[in-house]
Structure 1
Amino acid sequence: MIITFVTGNSHKVEEAVAICSSRGIKIVQNDCGYPELQEDDVAAVAAYGAENVVNRLGSAVIVEDTGFYIDALHGFPGPYAAYVQDTIGNAGILSLMQDIGDRGATFRSVIGYCEPGTDPVTFEGAVTGRIAHRPEGEGGFGYDPIFEINGVTLASMGDAKNKISHRGKSFEKFADWCLGREGL
C-alpha cells in the first residue's frame, strides 16, 4: 500500500515512515501544499486538508495537523502551533511561561486520510506533559526541546519518542486501521 503524505515537513515524514514501513505501508512525500482551514478543531483542519488534496492528486493521501495546548495560557497556541513556532518559537513560549507554576500542556496530532470518492477519516493521538524551564535535547523539532514527559523532553528521547508522542500515537492508530481493512 502506497500513501502520499502531503507536507513540507520532512521530520513528520520520517516519523510516519518509522511507524508505517514496518507494517508494509509505504509513505511518499508530496509538498504540493493545500489551503489550511482556519479552525479551532485540529480534526476538522486535517479532514479538510485531506479532502482538498485527494481531489487534486487522485490517490490515497494523508495530512497531519497538530495542536499544542498550554494550560496556563488557556490553550494557547492551540491549532496555531506551527504559526506560533514560526513567529515566537520556543524562546517566546518560555518567555510567556516565565514565573508561571502551572506548566501543564497537551499535544494533539490528527491525521486526515482520504481516498478518491470517499469521505476523510481521522486518527487522533494526544500526550500530556509539561513545559520545561529551558530547552533540552538535540533530537526532534518544533516544540520537542521544551515539552517534557516525566521530566524528559521529546527532543531527548531519541527513537523512544515515536512510542509515546502525540504523532506516534496517531500514526499507530492509522497504521493499525490500514492493516485491519479488508483487501489490504
Structure 2
Amino acid sequence: MATDMKIMFVTNNMNKVIEANEIVKSFGIELIPIDVKKIEIQSDSLREIAIYAAKHAYEVIRKPVVVEDSGLFIDALNGFPGPYSSYVYRTIGLKGILKLMEGVRNRNARFIAIVALAISDSEIYVFEGITEGYIANEIRGDKGFGYDPIFIPSNHSKTFAEMDRSEKNMYSHRGKAFRALGEWVYANRDRLIFSQ
C-alpha cells in the first residue's frame, strides 16, 4: 500500500522511527520524525505523560502529531523502572538492572507502550501495547535498542535483541500500539486531514 498519510512523530530516536514505520506502512501511513522538544511531565502514568507531550507538540506545530512513551515494569521491583525507564537506562543501564535482579526468582516483567495521536487541541487518541515477559539472567543479542537485550517475551526463548526487527514487531509493545494506531487512522482516513 502506498503511503498517502504522513504524520509527524516527535522523537529523536531513529530506532523507534524505523520500527514504527515498518508497522504503519501497511496502513498507508508514514511517520516523519520532527525535532520538537518533547515535554515530559513527572508522572507515574505513561498515559498522562504521552497525552501531555502530544498536546504540547500539537500546540507547537498545529498538525496531527504522534508521541510514543514506553516503559519496562518489573514485578519484583514494584514496577520499577516504569515511566522512568529512559532515565534509569541512561544512569545504571542494563548491568544495573541485572544487578538489582541478582538472586531474584520472580523475573516477570512487562513492556508497555503508549502512543498518543493529537489531531486538534482537544482531540487526542491513545493506543496501548503491552507485552508480558521476563528479565533474562544476562545481556543477550546485539539487535534492537534500550532494554531489548534483557527482555524475553512470554512463550519465547530469545530476547528482543536476538530477534530481527520484523520478528520483534510481531510481539513487541511498540508493535501492538502502532498497529492499533494504524488501524484507527486507516478506518478514519476520510475524515482526517494529514500532510500529503
Superposition TM-score, scaled by structure 1 size: 0.97
2:100 paired residue number: 96
Correspondence for 1:39 among 7, 27, 43:
43
Aligned counterparts of 1:70 and 1:117: Cα–Cα separation in 2:
35
1:107 paired residue number: 111
1:145 paired residue number: 149
* 8 Å Cα contact 2:70-2:113 kept in structure 1: yes
2:60 paired residue number: 56
- Give percent identity, aligned residues only: 42
Aligned counterparts of 2:22 and 2:189: Cα–Cα separation in 1:
24
* 8 Å Cα contact 2:9-2:66 kept in structure 1: yes
1:26 paired residue number: 30
1:21 Cα deviation after fit: 1.5
Correspondence for 2:73 among 69, 73, 89:
69
Aligned counterparts of 1:182 and 1:8: Cα–Cα separation in 2:
26
Aligned counterparts of 2:18 and 2:10: Cα–Cα separation in 1:
13
**Matched length:** 184
* 8 Å Cα contact 1:6-1:29 kept in structure 2: yes
Correspondence for 1:162 among 165, 169, 179:
169
* C-alpha distance after superposition, 1:72-96 (max 9, x if no partner): 0111101100000000000000010
Whether 2:128 is the aligned partner of 1:128: answer: no
* C-alpha distance after superposition, 1:154-180 (max 9, x if no partner): 011112000110000000000000011
Whether 2:16 is the aligned partner of 1:12: answer: yes
- SS of aligned partner of 2:137: coil
TM superposition outliers: structure 1 runs of 4+ over 3 Å = none
Aligned counterparts of 1:182 and 1:128: Cα–Cα separation in 2:
31
The one-letter amino acid of 1:175's match is G
Whether 2:187 is the aligned partner of 1:180: answer: yes
* C-alpha distance after superposition, 1:99-151 (max 9, x if no partner): 11110001100001001343211100000101000111111000000001222
1:26 Cα deviation after fit: 1.3
Aligned counterparts of 1:40 and 1:117: Cα–Cα separation in 2:
24
* 8 Å Cα contact 1:8-1:33 kept in structure 2: no
Aligned counterparts of 1:35 and 1:180: Cα–Cα separation in 2:
29
Superposition TM-score, scaled by structure 2 size: 0.91
Aligned counterparts of 2:133 and 2:31: Cα–Cα separation in 1:
29
The one-letter amino acid of 2:134's match is R
1:182 Cα deviation after fit: 5.0
Whether 2:150 is the aligned partner of 1:171: answer: no
Provide structure 1 residue ranges, at least 5 long, that are not aligned to the other structure.
Answer: none
Whether 2:82 is the aligned partner of 1:78: answer: yes
Aligned counterparts of 2:48 and 2:42: Cα–Cα separation in 1:
9
Provide structure 2 residue ranges, at least 5 long, that are not aligned to the other structure.
Answer: none
